[in-house]
Structure formats: structure tokens, C-alpha cells
Amino acid sequence: MIPFNRVVIVGGGTAGWMAAAALSKTFREKISIELIESEVIGTVGVGEATIPNIKNFHLLLELDEAEFMRAVHGTFKLGIEFVNWDNLGDRYFHPFGPPGVESWAAQFHHYWLRAKGQGDVADYGEFSVETSMARDGRFGMNGERKPNYAYHFDAGLYAKLLRGFSENLGVRRIEGKVVEVQTHPESGHIESVKLESGQVVAGDLFIDCTGFRGLLIEQELQTGWEDWSHWLRNDSAVAVQTESVSSLSPYTRSTARSAGWQWTIPLQHRVGNGLVYSSGYMPDDEATRTLLDNIDGKTINDPRVIKFRTGRRLKQWNRNCVALGLSSGFLEPLESTSIHLIQNGIIRLIKLFPFSGIDEAAVDQYNEDVRTEIEFIRDFIILHYHLTHRADSPYWNDCRTMQVPDTLLHKVSLFEGSGLIAQHPYDLFADQSWAAVMLGQGVEPKGHHPVVEMADDDELRQFLARIRASVRQIVELQPMHRDYVAAHCSTPEHAA
Ligand code: FAD
């Protein structure tokens, strides 16, 4: 055993069980892990779309993909389709993989922009394997160019899977509600938590996974909050599940409504639907009606309203407490980034684990890394609102005309002028993602990189035609998504 070895996780949602699984897998018997959760309080119960990096987390856990997919009734996700975001009736796709072919000097969109300037009207999505597969409703691994993908899963089943995994590795689950937190009178470090039953659980490191309430990090340690609601004005969501009625789309759909947007997430056994909105522009009952008016299939539960605040905790690691998940901050789910932030928080914690006690330099490093990463994601999400051309409601007028962070202004004006994209190593979204959203929402760069002028007009035309044909060829090799799931990873009761 190492000296600083008692980890107490409070909260058993996605964040709590992901932390328990990864820490127990990495450190085994070198640390003891106790996880406290309360069935009476329950979990937020949403959070079912991911981004491709989650595959790395599963590699760390050595989870078999087919077993995982069967357990969580999962489906595959090639990206997000955005409907009505630029103008009503428009749609574009943000794929997970890079389009076309690129040179070291310039990304593919520069070639496409030059051809477009010469009158070529081919849609940008036709050069992307992921976009074209998604539009055809196909998914598969045939051929040499495999798609980049993530998953949709049932959040409750994911936590259940990780709970079994963690308990097998020795994590001890304690059912009960934490009602009191004891801290050291001088250092302010948390020493123990007390449950309603009177049981006291002591530890060296506490991980706050208590959701929006931030029981340890905020209610006890009063860490502070940076509010981002002037940029990300949604503060509510209403969620409802429906029976599956149509083919299984291999992507998440985000449809903009008059004061927010609606998600559609297809799983094997049901569809997750929700409307994320700003209650200042749309009251809860109107949001619920809007959602129910715009879903297919019979509802299988009652619509549930969830309230949230966008922003971040000033420190995600404070004293001997690390906040993961909703207790650490929330950006709204537009690009499915929360589970990814949990994953990265856990990996950072493992790398900086305080084996011999809290080291303030390591704590500062952790907080700085998290801050940098989340600010890039924040800018990427604001981008979707800022670039709209919609002027059909006060909500969209305010989004379109709001002052955005300088870091984002710089990115947009660089792209508008030259098609260039400023890329930072901590930016989760690669240049192809920024390009997909900016082009999708109607930005027309005034220029392109001169390296694409090295080809003459004919060469460029042939180059693009070859890419388009090869994308088509790859796409047509793949089965329909539903058939792929049925053949590889369907949950037995949904196999039919
Ligand atoms: P919770 O699920 O709220 O869990 C909190 C836990 O703490 C529970 O187990 C509870 O019992 C326990 N607890 C609380 N208080 C106490 C106490 N006093 N004593 C004992 N236990 C206690 N993320 C994505 O990546 N993709 C998405 O598509 C996505 N969609 C979302 C949609 C919406 C509308 C919202 C609000 C969030 C979405 N998220 C999404 C975020 C995602 O849901 C969360 O990041 C994820 O579920 C983790 O939540 P959590 O574990 O931090 O909190």
C-alpha cells in the first residue's frame, strides 16, 4: 500500500463509476476505493451520446466492444447532423473523421474552396466517408478506410456495466445519503463524510461526483463558479424516451428550435429525445409541448425537466477533493463533450495521482490543464450559436449578435479571411471539425491556401472526382447500420 491510498468517491452516476473503474483497473490493490451513492437521489439519467475518444477509455479498461455494446444497448455514431442551425430548412453534418486527402501545408477544405470558387457545386459532405455513410444510414468496417466513430448508449446501463466491472476489482459500494462533511480545522482538507445512517467514511482523496449539487467541491469547500450563461444561454432541458420507429441512424441529430435545440439519439431498444432551451425565452410547458409535437413513436416515460447552469468550477481540484462530471462544470450537451471531460479528468488524475500527499504544484497543473481544455470546447460550442443566420426569434437574434470570447473571434476572422484554422494542441476539436461547422453554417472564406494552386484546373477536377468516387466506393461496401448492429453486437432481446 502507498501512504495516500484511501479514495472515497461520492456519487454513482456516469462520472462516479467511470472514475471507480479506471482507478481500480490502474492501481488495483495499491489503493482502496469506496463509492457512496444514493438510490433515493438517483442520477441525472441523460448523457447518451459520445465522441470517438471514449474508445481510448475502453482500451484502458480492456472492455470488449461487442460485449460493451450488448450491455448498454448501444449503437454507432459517425457524427452529428445539424438541422435548422444556419437558416430554417438547412442541414449540415459534423463528421468524426477528416474529409478527402490533405497535404501537410493545407487541409482538404482549401482544395474544395478553390474548386467551389471555380463553380464546382459538389457538396462538402460527399468527400467525407463518415458523412456519406451516415446519410446512407450505413455503418461498417469493410475496405481499407475505416470510419471514425463513437457510441450512443443507455446511461443507466453504462453505469451498471462499470459498477459490475469496478466491484469485480474490489471497489466497495456503499448505499446511502451523505448528510455531513468533516474537514480538518487547519488545512480545510476533507477527512470524512457522514451518511444518514450515521456511518462515517474516512479517506485521503475525495472525488466529488455528486452531479450539479457539487456536495463536496462547492457546498463544503465553496470553490466558486465562473458563469458562462451570457454565451451559452440554455439553462434547461426536457427529456423523453420513445419507442424506435424508423431505421437506426448512425448519428445524433440536433434540430434547432425557436429557443434551443432538440436531440435525437437512437439506441437499440428506444430513442432518446430532448429539448435543450433557455427558460428566459421559452417556458417549461411550451418546451415540453414543442418536444412532444416533434417526436416520432410512442413515448415510454413521462417528459422530465432538468435545470442546469453553464460554466465551470473555478478549480476542479481543491485541497484533497477532485470534482468530476457535472459537479466540475457544464457546457450543455450540443457536441456530446461531458463524458469526454470526465474521461480526461480521470486520466489526468491518474497521471498526477498524489501518492505521497497533496502537492500544490500538481493541483495547479491539473486545474490549468482542465481550464484550457474546457475553454476551447466552450468556444467551439458558442461558434454554433454565433454563426447562425436565423432571425426568426428573439433567441436566435440574441445568439447571432452576442459578444463572443476574443479567442473565438480570432478563430472565425482568420477563417473568414483565408480559410486558415488556428489549431492549439489542447483543442479537442481538430481543424476539420472547425471547418465542418464554419462551412456548414455559411462562412465563405475570402481565400484559400496558395499551395492548392500547384495543381492546374484539370488536375484539381480529377483529384476531387477521384476522392468522391473512392468515398462512394467505400460507403457502398458497408451494410445498413441496423444490420451491422444485428450481426455484431445486438442485445439478445432486440435481435429480431
Ligand atoms: P449524476 O448522474 O447526477 O450523478 C450524481 C450521483 O451523485 C448520483 O449517483 C447521486 O445518487 C449521487 N449523490 C448526489 N448527492 C448525494 C448525496 N448527498 N449522498 C450520496 N450520493 C449522492 N454528456 C455527454 O457526454 N453526452 C451527452 O449526450 C449528454 N447529454 C446531456 C443532456 C443533458 C440535458 C444534460 C443535463 C447532461 C448531458 N450530458 C451529456 C452530461 C452527462 O449527463 C453527465 O456528464 C454524466 O451523466 C455524468 O453525470 P454525473 O455522474 O456527474 O452526475
Confidence of residue 1 (pLDDT cuts 50, 70, 90): low
Nearest C-alpha neighbor of 261 from the set 284, 229, 286, 237:
237
Spacing, Cα 40 to ligand 1 middle (Å):
14
pLDDT at 486 over 80: yes
Model confidence band, residue 2 (pLDDT cutoffs 50, 70, 90)? low
Tell me if 38 sits within 8 A of 9, measured CB to CB.
no
Overall average pLDDT of the 336-359 stretch: 97
Per-residue pLDDT for 496 more than 80? no
Q: Catalytic: 116?
A: no
- pTM, 2 dp: 0.97
User: 25, 55, 77, 307: which one is catalytic?
Assistant: 77
Q: Which region among 4-13, 102-111, 259-268, 437-446 has the lowest average model confidence (pLDDT)?
A: 102-111
pLDDT of residue 417: 96
Could you tell me the distance, in angstroms and rounded to a whole number, from the CA of residue 46 to the centre of ligand 1?
7
Residue scoring higher pLDDT (101 or 323): 323
pLDDT per position as a tens digit, 168-210: 999 999 999 999 999 999 999 999 999 999 999 999 999 999 9
From residue 240, how far is each of 13, 262, 288, 294 by CA, in Å? 19, 11, 9, 11
CA of 493 to the centre of ligand 1 (A): 27
- For residue range 433-474, list pLDDT tens digits in order: 999 999 999 999 999 999 999 989 999 999 999 999 999 999
Q: Is 211 in the pocket of ligand 1 (CB under 6 A)?
A: yes
> Going by CA atoms, what residue is nearest to atom 31 of ligand 1?
47
CB 370 within 8 A of CB 328: yes
> Looking at residue 464, what is its pLDDT?
95
Mean pLDDT of 60-88: 98
* Average pLDDT of span 232-257: 95
> To test ligand 1's pocket by mutation, which of 17, 201, 306, 326 has the most ligand atoms within 8 angstroms of CB?
326
- Cα torsion angle, 388, 392, 398, 401, sign: positive
Strand partners, 183: 190
Classify residue 358 as left (phi > 0), alpha (psi -120 to 50) or beta: beta
Q: Ligand 1, closest atom to CA 177?
A: 19
Strands 205-208 and 6-10: parallel
Instruction: Give the 3-state DSSP-derived string for the chain, with helices as H, strands as E and coil as C.
Output: CCCCCEEEEECCCHHHHHHHHHHHHHHHHHCEEEEEECCCCCCCCCCCECCCCHHHHHHHHCCCHHHHHHHHCCEEECEEEEECCCCCCCEEEEECCCCCCCCCCCCHHHHHHHHHHCCCCCCHHHHCHHHHHHHHCECCCCCCCCCCCEEECCHHHHHHHHHHHHHHCCCEEEECCEEEEEECCCCCCEEEEEECCCCEEECCEEEECCHHHCHHHHHHCCCCEEECCCCCCCCEEEEEEECCCCCCCCCEEEEEECCEEEEEEECCCCEEEEEEECCCCCCHHHHHHHHHHCCCCCECCCCEEEECCCEEECCCEECCEEECHHHCEECCCCCCCHHHHHHHHHHHHHHCCCCCCCCHHHHHHHHHHHHHHHHHHHHHHHHHHHCCCCCCCHHHHHHHHCCCCHHHHHHHHHHHHHCCCCCCCCCCCCHHHHHHHHHHCCCCCCCCCHHHHHCCHHHHHHHHHHHHHHHHHHHHCCCEHHHHHHHHCCCHHHCC
pLDDT averaged over the chain?
Answer: 96
Q: Rounded to an integer, what distance in angstroms lies between the CA atom of residue 280 and that of residue 267?
A: 32
Instruction: Kindly list the distances between the CA atom of residue 375 and the CA atoms of 212, 335, 340, 347, 406, in Å, as whole numbers in the listed order.
Output: 19, 14, 14, 19, 12
- Residue with the smallest CA separation from ligand 1 atom 27 is 47
Residue 246 confidence (pLDDT) above 80: no
Q: What is the pLDDT of residues 317-326, one digit of tens each?
A: 999 999 999 9
Q: Is 79 in the pocket of ligand 1 (CB under 6 A)?
A: no
pLDDT of residue 104: 78
State the closest ligand 1 atom to the C-alpha of 337, by its place in the atom list counted from 1.
25
Q: Are 192 and 200 in contact (CB under 8 A)?
A: yes
